Each structure stands twice: as structure tokens, then as C-alpha cells.
Structure 1
Amino acid sequence: MTENDTPRPYGTPRTPRVTVRGEARIEADPDIARILVTVSARGTDRRTALDDLTRRNTQALELIKSYGEAIDTLETGTLSISPELTRHGRGERVRAYHGSVQLNVALTDFTALGELTTRLADQELTRVEGPWWALRPDSPVHAAARRQAVREAVQRAREYAEALDTELGALLELADTGTSAGRPGRAGFASRSVAYSSAGTELAADAEPVDLEPVRQTVHAQVEASFTIDPPTLR
């Protein structure tokens, strides 16, 4: 490779180069709502706490699975069984055992979300947190935002060329500099987090489903593009 063949990153007088940024923001309704369910148990001996935890966990799983296709994913998270020691006296004495298990649930049917949340909160020693709203990673909204960002980059480059009374030449480089989803001005999951728990207190048998309004998601896409332009006549 000769010196004349070495790539020139900033263009030349004969082949000027223009680099621009294209951005897009699109708002869309979420595809998924996620909730975190924590089932707990407490007993004076390890076996009682474990048996109660197993029973309540099974009840929660059966209730969630009964919603069929409304459930997108159901995963078991952290499981823990720990002793509570007495604070006074000599030696280590176990006062009680505490157990908990977490269930991560994602729903696609938001009509069922409020009802399921209420019914889970009605279970013994059960805590429900969420929902956290999100778009699927393969949502077409992401692709639409990327296409819009590219079109904006081309339009911006064309406007610069027109300002110099010339035209765009070839595309040299196109780089994706970031795509994110969340509430306006915030990356990641948009959330409206509410916690519900039951600690042995009975809720009304005919408790109304909680009314949960989805939070619209904002997808942000950004690209950088470099083009050659025909040499302008500068005056």
C-alpha cells in the first residue's frame, strides 16, 4: 500500500466528507408487565416453616398457571430458609425459622394483570411488587425507531450538502450509537411500582381487581453516518 492509498479519515478536497447524527424517539404501548411475588413462611421449627413455604409456593404457582396464555414467563427466583436466633441468654438458640421464595412473572394480558395481582395479594404471607412495564426485545417499534434515525441522518446530510449548493455522494459509514426503551427521558424499564401484601389478614372474598394503567414506553435510537459530497464551489 502506497502513501496515496492510505485511507484519509477526514476526506479530501476532491472527496469532501460530511458526518451527521440521526435520532428518533417513538412512543408505544408496552407489550409486557412484570411482577415480583414473594411467598413467606415462619415457624418455630425448620420443618414447619419449610412445609408452610412449600404449600404456599404451590398455591401461588397453581394460581398463576391458571391464567394460561396470559402468562408469558414464570420463573422461580431466590429461595431462602434462615434461623432467627434469640437475643438474650447464653449460647445460640433458634427462636424461629423464616423462609421465602420469589416468583418472577411476566404477563401479556393486562386485563388479567389486575385480577391476578389482587388474588395473589390475598394469599397468606404473600407480597406482590410491580408492575414493571416493557417492550419485547423483538418489538417492531425498535426497528421502526432505527429506520427513522437513519432517514433523519440522510436528510440532515442532504441539508448540509444543499447549504453548500452540492449533492450527496456515497455512504461511507453507518454506526448504531445506541437504542434504549423506557419512559420519556429515561432508559430502561418504565415502572409504576406498587406493593401488596397479606400477613394473615383476610381480604374481602369478592375484592375488586386492582386497576393498573400501562405506562407508555419511549424507544430512542441514534446513529452516526458519514457521506461523501461532490466538491462544492465555495465563494
Structure 2
Amino acid sequence: MTDTTQPYGTPDQPRLAVRGEAHLRFDPEIARVGITVSARGRDRRAALEDLTQRNTTVLELARSYGEAIDKLETGALSITPELHQRGRDEKIRAYHGRVHITATLNDFTALGEFTTRAADLDMTRIDGPHWALRPDSPAHGRARRQAVREAVQRAREYADAVGAQLAALVELADLGAENTAPTAYTRGAYGGPLPAPAGAAPGAAPALDLEPQQQTVYAQVNARFIMTPPKL
């Protein structure tokens, strides 16, 4: 029976520790568009009513795209007074309202038109698109498997360099598994904010031509093996 109690191995059963890495590129699966709707009024009720109407307009626009909208989420809502100071007195000059909406699209053929139409709405700001893979995308599994294969290949090459062979796998761990650090993550390019005009222009604005940006998935593992005695 193989003895694996020695942390550094023995001359008869040397241990070999390697790291496997994978850097793979994939086409994005979703695109997130941040939409911030604003309103301003002399009293709280007027600002809130305008904000509600504009928020409803954005939601109806998004829902009109049907299954192209993968997810629609409303974030922070705020109504803030703008103070105007005269002498020692502070008076409320106006109220500013703001609500943030995130639309996640899975159909990139509709993305340019939707983004343009949303940006053309009154008092609306667009941020994005933010390209991404889904959290459960098979791409993450492919990267992890590639990292494991790379670790095994690297270990075989090290063992071969000293005239030995791999005998057993002792440990296979995500990099940073002790402190639950992520080991497979996605890096992609993100679009910047698209400022919308204060009011909608007459007629429909031309749809933006948006090219999806590939996502890079990284995976890293630590692997420890026992190998046969080397021939030195």
C-alpha cells in the first residue's frame, strides 16, 4: 500500500508538486445594459410621478423584446432634495429622482436596437453593454478540465526529466481553496457609458452596431503526485 503520510515524499516515493493553468477564450453568452432613469421636479410628488412614468416606459420597452431579454432587474431608487441656501435659511429648491434598471440580453441581434431605443428616451442614461458568460456556462468546466490536463502533462514532463514516471495522484486542489478564493473566472471587455440626450430626437434613431467581445476564462489548480524513484 502506498504511504502518503510523508509531506515531502521519500527517496523511494518522491513527491512532485505542479500547477496547471488554462486560459481559454469564448464568445460571450449574455450582455448586460445598465439603464438609469432620472426625474426632477419642484415638489416631491411631481418628481416621483415623472420618475414612475419613465421607469414604466423603460420596462415596457424591455418587455416588448420578449425572450431576447433574459432578465430584467430594478436596483436602487432614490428621491433626493436639492437645497438652496439664502442667508441662514435652507429651502428645498427641487427634488431629484433616480432609478436603476439592469437588462440582461441573450440575443445580440436585438442588442443594438434595444440600446439605442433606451438611450433615446427622455432623461435616461445607458451604461454598457457588459459582455459576459453565464455563471453555469460550460466554458468554466472546459477551462478547469484543461487546467487539470495541463497539470498532469507538466508533472509527466518533470518526472521524465529525471528518468521517473508518475505513480499516483496525491492531491488536486483549486488554487487558494483554503480561503475559498475563485479559481476559474472570466475576464472580458466592458463597454463604457452611453450618455442619452435630455429629450428624444424626432424619429427613430439608427440602431448601434455592437460587436460582441470575447471573454477569457482562467482556471488554475495545484496537483501533487508520487513518482517512481528517479534515475539520477
Q: Structure 2 length normalisation: TM-score?
A: 0.92
- CA distance in 1 between partners of 2:107 and 2:40 (Å): 33
Contact 1:37 1:103 in 2 (8 A): yes
Q: Deviations over 1:74-100 (max 9, x none)?
A: 111110111111132442211111111
Q: SS of the residue aligned with 1:59?
A: helix
Q: How does 1:51-66 map to 2 (within 5 A)?
A: 51-66=49-64
Give the structure 2 partner of residue 67 of structure 1.
65
The amino acid of 1:22's aligned partner reads G
Contact 1:174 1:223 in 2 (8 A): yes
Q: CA deviation at 1:127?
A: 0.8
- Identity, % of aligned pairs? 61
2:180 equivalent to 1:182 = no
Give the structure 1 partner of residue 89 of structure 2.
91
Contact 2:73 2:103 in 1 (8 A): yes
Question: How many residue pairs get matched?
Answer: 223
Give the structure 1 partner of residue 39 of structure 2.
41
Give the structure 2 partner of residue 186 of structure 1.
none
| Cα RMSD, aligned residues only | 1.4
Give the structure 2 partner of residue 114 of structure 1.
112
Q: SS of the residue aligned with 1:104?
A: strand
2:146 equivalent to 1:141 = no
2:209 equivalent to 1:211 = yes
Q: SS of the residue aligned with 1:117?
A: helix
Q: SS of the residue aligned with 2:191?
A: strand
1:29 to 27, 38, 53: 27
Q: CA deviation at 1:168?
A: 0.8
Q: CA deviation at 1:32?
A: 1.0
Q: SS of the residue aligned with 1:197?
A: coil
Contact 2:41 2:95 in 1 (8 A): yes
Q: Structure 1 length normalisation: TM-score?
A: 0.91
Q: CA deviation at 1:22?
A: 0.9
Runs of at least 5 residues in structure 1 that lack an aligned partner in the other structure: 184-189
The worse-fitting range, judged by mean Cα deviation, of 151-160 and 84-93 is: 84-93
Please identify runs of 4+ aligned residues in structure 1 that moved more than 4 A.
Answer: none
- CA distance in 1 between partners of 2:39 and 2:165 (Å): 72
Q: CA deviation at 1:6?
A: 8.7
Give the structure 1 partner of residue 178 of structure 2.
none
The worse-fitting range, judged by mean Cα deviation, of 162-171 and 86-95 is: 86-95
The amino acid of 2:60's aligned partner reads E
Q: Deviations over 1:94-120 (max 9, x none)?
A: 111111111011111111111111111
Runs of at least 5 residues in structure 2 that lack an aligned partner in the other structure: 176-182
- CA distance in 2 between partners of 1:109 and 1:36 (Å): 16
Cα distance, 1:115–1:13 mapped onto 2, change above 3 Å = same
Give the structure 1 partner of residue 192 of structure 2.
193
Contact 1:192 1:215 in 2 (8 A): no
Contact 2:129 2:190 in 1 (8 A): yes
Q: SS of the residue aligned with 1:86?
A: strand
- CA distance in 1 between partners of 2:48 and 2:84 (Å): 20
The amino acid of 2:163's aligned partner reads D
